[in-house]
Amino acid sequence: MKTRITEMLGIEHPIVQGGMMWVGTAEMAAAVSNAGGLGIITALTQPTPDLLRAEIAKCRTLTDKPFGVNLTILPSITPPPYPEYRQAIIDEGVKIVETAGYKPQEHVDHFKAHGITVLHKCTAVRHALSAERMGVDAISIDGFECAGHPGEDDIPGLILIPAAADKVKIPMLASGGFGDGRGLVAALALGADGINMGTRFCATVEAPIHPSIKQAMVDADERSTELIFRTYKNTARVAKNAITAQVVANEAAGKPFEEIAHLVKGARGKEGLDNGDPDHGIWTAGMILGLIHDIPTCQVLIDRIMAEANAIIAERLAGFVR
């Protein structure tokens, strides 16, 4: 399948693995890239810029296909050394970067000055247009169904994707609620050039997550996510569990973030992904949980998505035309 995204990124299939905290390792990215998609290492999963350098080098030993690195910029009183992470990406010769988050202009400019292709994640059409003006090469538009931060507008992909496609001129990935061939065909029909998947790649053999968490994804359905941090104007979609119930109850009672901070620490969520207890901490997951029914390898998953998509286009859709 040939789209503007496959041409731009030099990949076989229009499927990108989004940057996922704790999950976007060299092994994960290489598995996706070897299967014909674009794998992405998550920079901040590595505690230091030097460890990121080592992770990029490791990925090169695992695949000779294109892969990228995600750098997410979040407002913080004590931010990580973003310029050093950025320089590590540049020094290691990475050719594709996914940026996300807060005021990325400085990073985009520096990456572009070194000939790096930049994809930027957005949750609104206005943000996509801003990123386009900023000079990024492609955008990923996240609908309300997505895992993580869907923004505050609550616009689902069925509206958001074509609304963005009507205005954005650069290539576009559809993100949020994608995990099979039906979703890929729908994304293309709505005006996207490919799909970005996060949660679906978490339920694969290669994902560095405890098998019990993966099984919890299989056992879940489309109602198994929760929106937290709504009252703090920093909405996040995560898997529904005992911790999210406490968070939502505290928010409903008007409690300040400081009173729930210990429940939602990233380190606590990482412990749960490692020890297999789905109630240990919060872990991000999208509504695509309702369409996850197995734990395949990345190769099997991508091959299946492409076979389904091609069959839908060639058989089902063609059959409607008279």
- pLDDT digits 0-9 by tens, 272-309: 999 999 999 999 999 999 999 999 999 999 999 999 99
Q: Residue 44 has which token pair? A: 């901040």
Quick check: is 260 in a domain? yes
pLDDT of residue 77: 78
User: Considering its fold, how many domains does the chain have in total?
Assistant: 2
Q: Are residues 160 and 196 in the same domain?
A: yes
Task: Report the C-alpha gap between 9 and 306 in whole angstroms.
Answer: 17
| Sign of the CA dihedral running 186, 226, 123, 269 | negative
Cα–Cα distances in Å, from 210 out to 64, 99, 181, 201?
27, 27, 26, 14
Quick check: is 128 in a domain? yes
Q: Are residues 182 and 236 in the same domain?
A: no
CATH number, domain with residue 191: 3.20.20.70
Q: Are residues 304 and 261 in the same domain?
A: no
Q: Are residues 56 and 80 in the same domain?
A: yes
Q: Are residues 19 and 130 in the same domain?
A: yes
Count the Cβ atoms, other than its own, within 10 Å of residue 230.
14
Contact 152, 30 (CB under 8 A): no
Quick check: is 215 in a domain? no
Q: Are residues 166 and 245 in the same domain?
A: no
Q: Are residues 190 and 89 in the same domain?
A: yes
Count the Cβ atoms, other than its own, within 10 Å of residue 232.
12
Quick check: is 220 in a domain? no
Quick check: is 279 in a domain? yes
* Residue-wise DSSP of 43-72: GGGSSSHHHHHHHHHHHHHH-SS-EEEEEE
Q: Are residues 204 and 235 in the same domain?
A: no
Quick check: is 119 in a domain? yes
pLDDT of residue 193: 98
Taking the CA of residue 261 as centre, how many other CA atoms within 13 Å lie in the half-sphere pointing to its CB? 4
Q: Are residues 124 and 71 in the same domain?
A: yes
Residue-wise pLDDT tens digits, 173-194: 999 999 999 999 999 999 999 9
- Please check the confidence at residue 322 and state whether its pLDDT lies above 90: no
Q: Are residues 63 and 146 in the same domain?
A: yes
Task: Report the C-alpha gap between 223 and 228 in whole angstroms.
Answer: 14
Q: Are residues 41 and 183 in the same domain?
A: yes
Q: Which domain holds residue 171?
A: 4-208+294-320
| pLDDT-wise least confident of 91-95, 103-107, 115-119, 275-279 | 103-107
Quick check: is 218 in a domain? no
Quick check: is 154 in a domain? yes
Residues 6+ apart with CB under 8 A from 24: 17, 40, 41, 42, 45, 70
Three-state secondary structure call for residue 128: helix
Task: Report the C-alpha gap between 142 and 158 in whole angstroms.
Answer: 11
Residue-wise pLDDT tens digits, 13-45: 999 999 999 999 999 999 999 999 999 999 999
Q: Are residues 110 and 201 in the same domain?
A: yes
Position 128 confidence tier, pLDDT thresholds 50, 70, 90: very high
